[in-house]
Structure 1
Amino acid sequence: MSLGTILLIVLVAVLVAGLPAWPYSRSWGYYPSGGAGLLVLVVVVLLVLGYL
């Protein structure tokens, strides 16, 4: 597998895990989705710079 495929799988897993699906996770706020957004931003910057 290429690095891009592995990153795509990890990002999808993080985005699904960040959804507030359980009652106790609703009080977490934007922390899980903010972390996923940060990962997406890093991957986009690496793609633009040509490292991926």
Structure 2
Amino acid sequence: MSLGTIIIILLILMLVGAIPTWPHSASWGYFPSGALGTILIVVLILVLLGRI
């Protein structure tokens, strides 16, 4: 496994974990998952371009 693949897998797991489905995180809105989604897209583009 390359470093890029490991980073993408970790970011996907973090994105799933940031979805506000629990009562204590319902007031957070979609900021955590939106921020992680943006980071995931940037890392995915960098992996596809061969920068990571």
When normalised by structure 1's length, the TM-score is 0.71
User: Following TM superposition, by how much is the alpha carbon of 1:48 offset from its aligned partner in structure 2, in angstroms?
Assistant: 4.5
Aligned to 2:42: 42
Q: Which runs of 5+ in 1 are unaligned?
A: none
What is the distance in 1 between the residues matched to 2:49 and 2:38? 17
What is the CA RMSD across the aligned residues, in angstroms? 1.7
* Structure 2 segments unaligned to the other structure (5+ residues): none
Identity over aligned pairs, percent: 52
**1:3 corresponds to 2:35:** no
**Using the alignment, how far apart are the partners of 2:41 and 2:15 within structure 1?**
13
The list of structure 1 runs, each at least 4 consecutive aligned residues, that deviate by more than 4 angstroms after superposition, is none
Contact 2:12 2:40 survives alignment (8 Å): no
Q: Give 2:35's aligned amino acid.
A: G
The code of the aligned residue for 2:39 comes to: L
Q: TM-score, normalised to structure 2's length?
A: 0.71
1:20-44 per-residue CA deviation (whole Å, 9 max, x = no partner) reads: 1211211101211122122112213
CA drift at 1:49: 3.5
